[in-house]
Homo-oligomer: A and B are copies of this chain.
C-alpha cells in the first residue's frame, strides 16, 4: 500500500516514520510546500518520495490513502479533495474547524465507502486503553466527574486558540472513557498576547450530574498533564508526567448512611488499597497508524473514525460560541 502524507510541520514527520515502519505500507510519499522540510525528512527517512504539490499525490493512482497533517484551517479542503479523488483519509486532530465541514467529510466518506479517521493519538495509549478497560469492567462504578489539566509553557499556535490546540486530546480521551452524550458546553478564556485565548477552562455537562472540566493553558511555568476521574466505587488518576505508574486506581470513596432523622446523613469515607496497573508500552502513534491501515484493508471502522472526530469538533465549536457570548451555556442540540 502506498500512502501520501500532506504537511511536514511538527507532527507530519512522526506520521511518516510510523507509516514507513508499518509492514502493510510499501511506500510513503510526502508533500510540503517548503522544500527544506522535504529535504530534512528525506535525510532521516531516505525511502520516502517527496513532492511539493499535493495534487501530485491525489492524482497518483497507486496512492491508496492520504494523511492530512497541515494547519487546521486547511483540513477540510484537503481532506475533501482527497476523498473525492478516492483516497482513504487520516486527518490530524482537530478534524476540521467547524461541525458543518466535519459532517460533510463524513457524508462524502460514507458515500464513497472510504475510511475516514482522525488522529486522536491519546486514545491509542496504553494508559487510556487501560482506563477504559477498568471503567468497562464496572470497577469505577458510575462516573461522577472527569477533570483534566493540560498546562505548560508554550507552543503558541498562530491560527487556533489554546482550546482548539490542546483540548482535543482530553476531549477525545473523555469521549472514549465516559462514552456519554454531552448536554451543554461552557467556556471561559483569556487573551494576553494576541487575539487568541492562551488559557481556557472548558466545562462539558452531562445528564445525572456528570460534569467534565478541562483546563488548558500555554502560560504555565510547570507542566501538568493530569486527569482525575471520580467514580461511585473507585477513582482513577492518570498522570502523564509520571515516568512510570501513569495510571493509579484508588479504592476510595464516599458512602452515605441515612440515619433516623431525615435531616441528617452520615458521610463515611472508604479508603482501601491503591494499585497502578501495568500499562502497554507500544507507541500510540504506531497503533493509530496501524488501525488506519488495517481499517482500510479490512473495511472496518477505525477506533477514532470521523464520528469520533466530529464529537470533538462539536464541543470545540460550542466552546467558541460560549466564548463569543460572554461565557454563556451552549446547549448541544
Contacts and interface: CB of A to CB of B under 8 A. Distances in A.
Interface of A: 44, 46, 144-145, 147, 149, 151, 153-154, 156, 158, 186, 188-194, 198-199, 201, 203, 205, 209-211, 213, 215, 217-223, 228, 230, 232, 235-237, 241, 243-245, 248, 250-254, 256, 264-265, 267, 269, 271-278, 326-329
A44 B254 CA distance: 32
B256 A274 contact: no
B278 A275 contact: no
A158 B264 contact: yes
Given A201-B203, A221-B230, 8 more contacts: A151-B228, A201-B201, A215-B215, A221-B228, A221-B252, A271-B278, A273-B278, A274-B275
A136 B117 CA distance: 52
A276 B278 contact: no
A215 B104 CA distance: 38
B326 A267 contact: no
Nearest to A151: B228
Contacts of A186: 186, 188, 327
B223 A254 contact: no
> Which residue of A210, A223, A244 has the most chain B CB atoms within 10 A of its CB atom?
A244
20 contacts: A145-B219, A153-B254, A153-B269, A158-B265, A186-B186, A186-B327, A188-B205, A190-B209, A192-B232, A194-B265, A201-B213, A213-B215, A217-B230, A219-B230, A221-B230, A241-B243, A272-B278, A274-B275, A274-B276, A327-B329
A267 B235 CA distance: 36
Contacts of A243: 223, 241
